[in-house]
Amino acid sequence: MKDLLLTNNLTKAFGGLVAVNEVSLTIRENTFTLLIGPNGCGKTTLLNVCTGVLRPDGGEVKLEGKDITGWSPESIYELGFVRTFQIPMPFLSLTVLDNVLSAMRNPGESPLKAIAKRTWVKEEEKNVERALEILWRVGLSREWDKPAYSLGGAQLKMLEISRSLASGAKLVALDEPIGGVDPIYADEILTYITSLKSYGLTFLVIEHRIDIAAPYADYAYAMDRGSVISQGKPQDVLNDPKVVEVYLG
Ligand SMILES: Nc1ncnc2c1ncn2[C@@H]1O[C@H](COP(=O)(O)OP(=O)(O)OP(=O)(O)O)[C@@H](O)[C@H]1O
Ligand SMILES: [Mg+2]
C-alpha cells in the first residue's frame, strides 16, 4: 500500500497556543484513517493545515510525494485532496442528480445549462451516467430526481460525499461525518464510506463518537494538546492507557 498523505513535524500556533505540535502522520492509500482526541486538541486545525485552509508554522505536508506545504486550498483540491466543505454546498433546491453533476470537474459545457436547454451531447450523457453510478454507490439512486431539501440528514451527508466522489477526489477528509446523526444512520454512513474504498478512495475521518467509528477504521491516530499520543489499530489506540486517561481525565 502506497503512502498517500504524509505530514512531517507539522506545527501550527495561534499566538502562544501551539494547536498542532510537530505532528507526523502517514495516511496509506485506500484506507480509512480515524483521527480522535478530546475537544480542542487540534484535530480540525491539523486538517486545516493539511488542506491549505491555514498555513503551517513549521513542518511539511506531502501528497503522493509532492510537497504541498502552504499551497492554497484550491490547488490542493485540484490534486484530489478534498475536504467536503471545499466543494460548494449542495444546492438544496436542485435535484440530487444535479447536485452530483455540478460537482464534476469535466462538465464540458456546464451540465446544468445543457440539461436546461435539453442539448444532450455525448459528454453530458457520460456525466449523467457517471453521476447515477455514484448515487448508486452511496445508496441514493432512488432519490436521484428528488430535490436535495427533501433528503434526511444522513442522506445529505451521503450527497456531500458523493459530490467529492464526483469531483474526482482521491483523498477525502471528513470532519465529524456522523456528528449529530442517529446511531442507525451513523452505521449506514460509515458502511458506505468503507465500501467506497474499493473504488480507490482514501478517507481521513475526525470523529468524536469513536465507539461507533472505530470498527470501520483501518488505522487510528489519537491527539492530545496538539500532539499525537497514540497510533495503530483502532482498538489498540482506544485501549492505550494514554488515550484512556485523556478521555477519562
Ligand atoms: N482560528 C483560531 N484562532 C485561535 N485559536 C484557534 C483557532 N482555531 C482553533 N484554535 C484553538 O486551537 C486549539 C485546537 O482547536 P481545534 O479546533 O483544532 O480542536 P479540535 O480537536 O478540532 O476540537 P473539537 O473536537 O472541539 O472540534 C483550541 O484551543 C482552539 O481554541
Ligand atoms: Mg474540530
pLDDT at 1: 81
* Residue 176 sits in the same domain as residue 138: no
* Residue 218 sits in the same domain as residue 123: no
CATH of the domain at 218: 3.40.50.300
* Residue 173 sits in the same domain as residue 248: yes
* Residue 243 sits in the same domain as residue 192: yes
**Average pLDDT, integer, range 15-40:** 97
The secondary element (H helix, E strand) that includes residue 20 is strand 17-28
Contact between residue 14 and residue 4 where contact means Cβ atoms under 8 Å apart: no
> Residue 200: which of 171, 161, 233 has the closest Cα?
171
Whether pLDDT at 104 is above 60: yes
Collect residues with CB below 5 Å from ion ligand 2. Answer: 44
- Which bound ligand lies closest to the C-alpha atom of 175? 2
Q: pTM of this prediction?
A: 0.90
Cell 436547454, residue? 117
Test site for ligand 1: of 11, 12, 17, most ligand atoms within 8 A of the Cβ: 17
**Average pLDDT, integer, range 214-241:** 97
Whether pLDDT at 25 is above 70: yes
* Residue 81 sits in the same domain as residue 183: yes
* Residue 223 sits in the same domain as residue 249: yes
Around ligand 1, the residues with Cβ closer than 6 Å are 14, 17, 19, 37, 39-45
Final residue of a structural domain among 141, 166, 191: 166
Whether pLDDT at 86 is above 80: no
Test site for ligand 1: of 21, 44, 221, 224, most ligand atoms within 8 A of the Cβ: 44
**Average pLDDT, integer, range 139-157:** 93
Q: What percent of the chain has pLDDT over 70?
A: 92
Domain that holds residue 223: 1-87+169-249
Cβ partners under 8 Å of residue 46, min gap 6: 7, 10, 12, 20, 23, 35, 223
List the single range of 14-18, 29-33, 76-80, 150-154 with lowest mean pLDDT: 150-154
Final residue of a structural domain among 133, 166, 199: 166
CB atoms within 10 A of CB 219: 18
* Residue 155 sits in the same domain as residue 195: no
* Residue 8 sits in the same domain as residue 80: yes
How far is the first Cα of the chain from the last one, in angstroms, to the nearest whole number?
Answer: 36
* Residue 202 sits in the same domain as residue 82: yes
* Residue 154 sits in the same domain as residue 180: no
* Residue 74 sits in the same domain as residue 142: no
Final residue of a structural domain among 135, 166, 197: 166
What is the count of structural domains for the chain? 2
* Residue 77 sits in the same domain as residue 196: yes
Whether pLDDT at 142 is above 90: yes
Cα–Cα distances (Å) from 103 to 32, 62, 98, 159, in that order, read 23, 25, 9, 11
Q: Sign of torsion, CA 60 63 68 74? A: negative
